[in-house]
Structure 1
Amino acid sequence: MSTSYDGLQFPIHPENHKPSTSSTGKQIIAEALATVDHQSSVDALAEKNWRKHYPKYFKALVTNGIREQANAIQIAEDGLRKAHQSFEFYRHEQKYVLKDVMLLPTETLHTFKLQGSSQAAPEWYVPYRGQKLQGQALLDQVAIWLAAGIIEPSHAEALNAAMAHPEWFDLSDRNMVLFGAASEAGPLTWLAKWKANIIAVDLPNSRVWNKILSTVQQGNATLYAPSTTQLAADTPLDILTEQLGANLLTQTPEIAQWLAQKPETLDLAAIAYLDGEKHVRVAMAMDAIMQYVSEHKADSSLMFMCTPTDVYAVPEEVISASAEKFQQRSQGQKLLTKSIETISRSHFFQKNLHNLIASDNGQHYGIADCLVVEQGPNYALAKRIQQWRAILARHQGQHVSINIAPSTTTHSVTKNPLLKAAFSGASLFDVEAFSPETTNAIMAALWIHDLRNPNSAANPEVKLEHPLELMMEGANHGGLWRVAYLARTALPFAALYGFAADKLPLDKVIQKFKK
């Protein structure tokens, strides 16, 4: 079949020759639901307004996953299988199914090595509001976040453990693969200070590689980077920025084989992000590579960062806290939100989900539905694919670090005016959005904790009461799990407040709203 497409793509419609993201997304979610909830599966396939109503079906995934432990595994298996059977890969004007892409002939990727120039000892601190928090100051801030419901107890415990074990941060014994190494929300800056062996995978792009090379050069780590050409050790930096890199979407099998041939144990981190439908494609590329490397190197570990704006199973205590917050609202807040809810015909300020679901393990769990419709079904699908891989890999005995990172004011978020304003106004609902440098420091440390602490949920030998507890452990949701309202129904008001707060002194307004 002749085509102008290249690399990993959504299935191309045979009539209009265009990819259909909604159709593919519906089919994957429907297949994931088919065994555990036939009716929801049928409804998903028949859904006419997927972009508006997709949260209903993502919630069904979690609801059914909670009810039976085996369901969570079944959903992950079925969803991933359908995804790998659905996506296509184009090369030399020929089409292949993604599940077969690793069988294609490949070109060799060479490895370039760069040693950082620093001799400094590994050090960890958390940049926060103009300060570098360490020691007691960091312990105090972690306690503040915990008391405010910004982070979960297991997240606080992990950060405190990391503080108690500075020796964990010498990563000279780890080989850490970063898919999307230059990602704004990624751990590159910290790994470069912690003597890590960094295997960086990112686009062949001079700006990207200038950032990666300069970061590593200033630190004490060692960089291993792919290149389609053999490069001499003394190659000038300006040449390196033009020659290094590999494209996850078009060089998927090359990257997989390059990594699988390495003798060292690898820690694989899926941190690449692209806008829109490309995010799903790059998530699938990373998943295909991780699956291949894991099959050939069973001792590999996986790492993912979840978004708080998703739907999760949560402990019963979280639901109780949200319900209590709803009951304890001030009279002013009750009157205002009730009026807005009535005028909007219950579109705004809907009460959060406070019902509990019984699981076959004897426990009860709630659901934190923090999906933001405006982020779209492609974003939700990309993040769900990563959750599925994490659940399935750990079930199969693999070490998996997956933690919820807080809402963060990265460029990819703040370029959306609504989300930028909503984050600015999030404090109105006791939600905190973190700066990129704060999130980077926290999440990098959490990854190290998960690799070093044998009692971490990342360790498959640690018993979890339910597979979905893997995402509950270590969560830093910024307070979203514990808000009184369904998050997406309060978002427009938070955005309105955020817009206004930039121009007006609203301190007194917020005090009246909260008290």
Structure 2
Amino acid sequence: MPNTNPTGVVMPSVGGKVSSSALGRAVVADALRGVDPVGARGAEASTDWRHDYLVHFRRLVEAGLPSREAALTIARDGLASLHERMRYRSGTDGAEAPLSAAFAVGGEPLRTVTIAGRGKAERELVVPYRGRLLAGRELDLQLERWVSAGIIEPSCARIVQTVAANPGWLALEGHRVVVLGAGAEMGPLRALLRWGADVVAVDLPRPAIWERLQGLAQRYAGNLHVPVTGEDRGADLLHDLGRVADWIEGLDGRLVLGNYVYADGALNVRVAMAVDALTVRLRQRRPDLGLAFLATPTDVFAVPDDAVDEANRRYAEATGIGRFRRPLRVLSAGRLLTRNYPPELYPGVNDSLVPQQGPNYALAKRLQRWRAAEARAAGLPVSLAVAPATRTRSVVKNRLLAAAFAGAHRFGIEIFEPATSNTLMAALLVHDLNAERPAHEHPWQDEAFAAAHGGLWRQPYSARSALGIAVLMGIGGARG
């Protein structure tokens, strides 16, 4: 039974009730108000946020396209709204306090236990893929196939090839990567340890998590630094922000704060906000701080001109399921297999929000993109990568999404296995910590650069108009 009176970092209560929909409406309205007051009023007036959020999260992107300053205003105002509205509730009197109160909670300081790897550091970029280990020419060929199929952007292939050509980068000498959500399937921890990097792990104080992470650390070559209280390893970001901030602040080396946390439902927003509060705190105390994020492709992004042109070329060719597009559109009153983009309207807006993931997931992921844009504009080193849809446990436990994943290949979408995704994303992180990405005029271009979207940006049909068909075609595969 869910906890109706949670503690730690919490959503605000209004009239004694907590509503994640009310929070989402208010934050989106606050983010839009400075550049799109009509859109802000529309978000505030929503009576069915679970359905309406799809429109308003798209508007958050579209309203920022006219200028760099418009996009940054949306990001800054959205973040400010979240920090003003979110609360901290102690476990003693249950009273709500401002989010900053989370750092006033004391306790025994965390100490560090270091697990030294016993393995030999890998000095070649090797990517697991469908039972094979790709390196050298084999990796180049697969990157070319992905680009040709529209699975990753050409800039993503170039970055991975650059890392492969500079194997000395893999150890990340001089850096300490703080992996928040160290046990996450999409996180870079395993790859970084294989390459001999210095990794700081933060995850919940659950023995099963730390037994597995200790085994990985001992098996590979890197050093794993772990927060410890007494005999317990780990730390709870929802309740222990003050101690975690003090502990990370005291670590040596150039710090990179990597955000890989995830939780279900409204808890995802709470954890994401705990991480963002930690980010703000550490920026005040560690001017050397860098940030790392993974963005989900099931969101709204502005995309390059050539992605729009390729999607429209495929639409015109009408191969595969597209041969039945006309009768399907007639039977569905135009809802099925709609164009991904209007022709020759640049940049294109790819809307791949999936209703089954819900508005809390969208808000948690969007605030990370807002923070990346804001921090990059402030001059901080930022690595944000769009990761492909991946068969993680958290996703495929939803039977509808599992079926959609099983049928996605019918539309030219590739669903990746975790080992492939997290190695590719770790390689992008290694690049960003060793070499600068090109400077772009607009934040949307920073997000689109080196994206590994799995094909969603370059397929002919909008994601939601193909979702139902993918589910039907994938049901048998999902059961298998």
TM-score tier, shorter chain, comes to over 0.9
Kindly indicate whether residue 451 of structure 2 is the aligned counterpart of residue 475 of structure 1: yes
From 265, 271, 277, give the equivalent of 1:282: 271
**Residue of structure 2 equivalent to 1:164:** 165
Structure 1 residue runs without a partner (length 5+): 230-239, 358-363, 458-462, 505-515
**Residue of structure 2 equivalent to 1:236:** none
What is the Cα deviation at residue 101 of structure 1?
Answer: 3.1
What is the Cα deviation at residue 132 of structure 1?
Answer: 0.3
Normalising by structure 1, report the TM-score: 0.89
Kindly indicate whether residue 138 of structure 2 is the aligned counterpart of residue 149 of structure 1: no
Could you say if the C-alpha distance between residues 110 and 354 of structure 1 is closer, same or farther in structure 2, counting changes exceeding 3 Å?
same
CA separation in 1, counterparts of 2:101 and 2:44?
26
From 298, 302, 318, give the equivalent of 1:329: 318
Q: What is the percentage of aligned positions where both structures have the same residue? A: 38
CA separation in 2, counterparts of 1:376 and 1:247?
25
CA separation in 2, counterparts of 1:341 and 1:49?
27
**Residue of structure 1 equivalent to 2:129:** 128
**Residue of structure 2 equivalent to 1:429:** 411
Q: CA offsets, 1:407-464, max 9 Å, x none?
A: 000111111111111111111111100001111111111110111123x24xxxxx21
CA separation in 2, counterparts of 1:441 and 1:4?
39
CA separation in 2, counterparts of 1:368 and 1:4?
38
Q: CA offsets, 1:227-277, max 9 Å, x none?
A: 223xxxxxxxxxx6xx10000111122212221232422011000111111
Query: In terms of mean alpha carbon deviation, does 257-266 or 476-485 score higher?
Result: 257-266
Residue 423 of structure 1 aligns to which amino acid in structure 2?
F
CA separation in 2, counterparts of 1:179 and 1:286?
8
Give the secondary structure class of the aligned counterpart of 2:125: coil
**Residue of structure 2 equivalent to 1:380:** 362
What is the Cα deviation at residue 107 of structure 1?
Answer: 4.2
Aligned runs of 1:13-92 on 2, under 5 Å? 13-14=14-15, 17-91=16-90, 92=92
CA separation in 2, counterparts of 1:131 and 1:319?
33
Kindly indicate whether residue 234 of structure 2 is the aligned counterpart of residue 245 of structure 1: yes
* Structure 2 contact 115–223 (Cα < 8 Å) conserved: yes
From 265, 285, 289, give the equivalent of 1:300: 289
**Residue of structure 2 equivalent to 1:344:** 332
CA separation in 2, counterparts of 1:111 and 1:502?
43
Q: CA offsets, 1:377-407, max 9 Å, x none?
A: 0111000000000000000000000000000
Give the secondary structure class of the aligned counterpart of 2:200: strand
CA separation in 1, counterparts of 2:17 and 2:110?
32
What is the Cα deviation at residue 104 of structure 1?
Answer: 4.6
Kindly indicate whether residue 210 of structure 2 is the aligned counterpart of residue 209 of structure 1: yes
Normalising by structure 2, report the TM-score: 0.95
Query: In terms of mean alpha carbon deviation, does 438-447 or 385-394 score higher?
Result: 438-447
Give the secondary structure class of the aligned counterpart of 1:451: helix
CA separation in 2, counterparts of 1:121 and 1:383?
32
Q: CA offsets, 1:2-46, max 9 Å, x none?
A: x953101111232xx332100001100110000110011001011
CA separation in 1, counterparts of 2:5 and 2:412?
50
CA separation in 2, counterparts of 1:446 and 1:417?
31
Aligned runs of 1:108-507 on 2, under 5 Å? 108-229=109-230, 243-330=232-319, 333-334=321-322, 336-354=324-342, 364-454=346-436, 456-457=437-438, 463-501=439-477
Give the secondary structure class of the aligned counterpart of 1:212: helix
CA separation in 2, counterparts of 1:328 and 1:4?
55
CA separation in 2, counterparts of 1:24 and 1:74?
19
Structure 2 residue runs without a partner (length 5+): none
What is the Cα deviation at residue 170 of structure 1?
Answer: 1.9
CA separation in 2, counterparts of 1:105 and 1:260?
16
Q: CA offsets, 1:342-399, max 9 Å, x none?
A: 2222222222222666xxxxxx411111111111001110000000000000000000
Residue 206 of structure 1 aligns to which amino acid in structure 2?
P
CA separation in 2, counterparts of 1:201 and 1:409?
23
**Paired residue total:** 475
What is the Cα deviation at residue 503 of structure 1?
Answer: 7.8
Give the secondary structure class of the aligned counterpart of 2:443: coil
What is the Cα deviation at residue 499 of structure 1?
Answer: 1.2
* Structure 2 contact 390–416 (Cα < 8 Å) conserved: yes
Give the secondary structure class of the aligned counterpart of 2:302: strand
What is the Cα deviation at residue 487 of structure 1?
Answer: 0.4
Q: CA RMSD in A?
A: 1.8
Residue 403 of structure 2 aligns to which amino acid in structure 1?
A
* Structure 1 contact 349–490 (Cα < 8 Å) conserved: yes
